[in-house]
Structure 1
Amino acid sequence: MPKAVRLPIARTAQSQPIIPAIAKPLPLERVQAVVADPTPITSSPTPAPTETTAPTDTEALAPTATNPLEDFPHFPGAKAGCLDIPSCFQTGNPLAKVAAYFEKELPAKQYEQRLEIDETDRKVYQFSRAGLTQYLSLIEIEGTGTVYVLADAPRTLDELKKAVEVPVELGNVLAQLVPETGAAGINGEDFADSINATPKDFTEPERFYESLGGVDAEGFEITPTPNSEIYGDLKVVRGQTPEQILVSTITPTLQGNGFTVSANSSGEYGGGLLYQIQKGKFTGYLNLVPTKDGTGTIVTVWTSSPM
C-alpha cells in the first residue's frame, strides 16, 4: 500500500511532490447557486425611489478578505468528493467543455489566469486574486468525465489518488500575514517591499532550501528552491518577534479556523521554535524563525517534522 503523501501556497518555480491546500468545497447546493446562470433583472426606466432589490445568491457569496476563493466559479452541476477528496469536483462533461467554461468565468470573477499545461487529458491554469495564487488542474478520466482540483501547484491523477489534504484555511492564514506597504521593522526600519523570505534572511538557510540559488555561468539568476516539505511561501513579518506574532496573530487566527495549536514548542529547528498544528487528518509544524538581521520573523509551515 503506497505511503500517504502530504499535500505541501503556490510556488511557480516547480511542481512539488506534496499535495497542498485544495479549495474548501462549498455544499453542493451552494456550488450550484454560485455557478447557475444569473437571471436577468429588468427594471422600469423610472423606478420608484423606495424600490429595493434583494441580493442574489451570487452576491451573497461575494469573496471575503479571509478567503479569496469563496466565490470561485465552480462548473455547473459539479459534485464534490471525487477520489475521496472533499474538495475534488467531478462532472460528466468532457475536458474541452470544462476548460472553455473556466476560461470564460475566471476572468469574469476578476481572477487573473493563464494556461500553464495543455495536454490531451489534462489542462492546468494558474490563477490569482487578492494575494492568493493557486493552480486549477482539470483531468479527464476515460468513461467518467472530468475532475478538477485547486492546489498550490499543478496536479496529476496519480498525485490526487495519494493525496492527504492540507486545509485551505491554512493558506488563507498565511496570506493574511503579508505586511502592508510601508511596514516598519522592530527597530523602525522601512520594509515596503519585503514580503517573502530569501536565503539571506536566514541564519541557517541550508536547512530551509534545497538550492540557495545564485548566478549561473552565463550570468542568469538561479531562483532558490525551498525544501519540498515546506507548505506555501516563506513569509517575513517585519516588526514582530516570534513570540509576538504567535500570540497576537497566528494562534488566534488558526484556532478561529478550526486548527489546534500546541501550547508548548515541539523543539527547535533552524534557529526558531516548532509548534505542532492539527486539523482533521492533517498535522503540520509551524516554524517561527527570527530574521538574521533581527528585524522580524520568518513564518514557515512544514507538512512533516523537519527534525
Structure 2
Amino acid sequence: MLQLQSWSRFLRVPAPARLLLLSLGFHGILLSLPIPSPEPKLPDPGPETVGVRELPREQPPEQPKVVQPRNTASISSKPQASPPRLLASPPQSVLPIPAPSPQPPTPTVKASPKATISPAPSVTPSPSTSVPVSAFADFPHVSGVQSGCEGLGNCWQAEGMRLTSVSRNLQESLEAQRYEVQLVNDDAGIRVYELSKRGEKRYLSLFSTPERGTLYVLAAQPLTSENLQQAMQAKTKLSTILNDLTSVEQPQVIRENLSRPELFWATNSTQTLNLNPGITGDLLLVSASTPKRLFDETLAPSLQAQGFSVSEIKNYANGPVYEVKQGVFTRYLNLVPTRNGQGTVVVLWSNLPNG
C-alpha cells in the first residue's frame, strides 16, 4: 500500500520535475557503480617483445661466422641493435654491384686497338736498312790481308801476293758464297769484277803494286789506275801537311797527355802497346795549340790550298773528326784535346772511328 501511495504521489509531480528526478537518480546510480581501471591491461606489452622471436632467425646465418666462443656472447648481449643493420645492408650492397660492372669493359676494349697501331711504323724501317748490310756482310777476304790502303775506303792490301793469285782466290770464295761474279776489266796490272747479290751491286777492283803486292777495293763504282794514282798523290800531300806541324811523336809522352789513351792503343797478351786498327801513321802532339785554334789557323788553310775538301762529321774522344777528301781518297782527321786542355793530339784514321 505504501508503494502504491508513493507511486501515486510521484505521478502527481509535473513531468519536467519527474524527468529531473529520474536523471538525478540514474546519475547517482552510475556514480556509485565501481569503474574498472585499465591498469591490469598494461602487463600485455610484456609478451609483445619481438626481439625474442627474431633471435632464432638471425642465429642460423651467423653460425658459420661464429668460430670462436667469444662471438656468441657478443651477439646475445646486443640482440635488438644488430637485426635492423643486417637486414638493411644486403639490399644496398647488391644494387651498386651490377651497375658499374658492365660499364668498365666497354672503354677498355676501345683503348686496346689504339695501342696496337703504334708499333706498325717502327717495323717498316728495319727491313730497308738490313737489306744492304746483309747483302755483302759475308764478303770473303784473302788470309793475311790488312785493311786500309792509299786512303781508299773498303780497301785491303795483300803484301807479297801476285794479282793473279789474289783474284783467283777471291773469285772462288765469292762464287762459293753465291755471289754473281763477272769480269768487266782485265788490263795490265788491274782487274775489275762486277759483283751482285740479292739485288745489290758492287765493283771489286784489284791493283798490282810492285812494292806492296796486291790491293783490292770494294766500291759502288769501278776504279781505274788513274784513280789509284790520284789517291797515292793525295796521300803524299796530306802526309806533308801533318809533318810540317811542330809536334812530338813519342808514344809515352802522348799517352800521358790523353784523358783516355785506351781509345787509341790496345794491349796484347804480351802487354805490348799497339795502335788500334784504322789508325795510319803515328800520333802527333801539338802542345801549344788547342784543337779549334790548330784547325782554324793551320790545318784548314793548308788542306784547302792543296785541293782537299774538309767537313766535320762527328766527335770522338772529346775532339772533332774531320773528313778529308780528294777524289777517291778519303781520310779522317781527329783532333783530340790534351789532358790540360791547352794542346792537341792529331790522329789520322783510314776508317771512321766508332764511338
Using structure 2 for the length normalisation, give the TM-score.
0.36
Q: Which structure dedicates a bigger proportion of its chain to helix? A: 2
Name the larger-Rg structure.
Answer: 2
Q: Which structure dedicates a bigger proportion of its chain to strand? A: 1
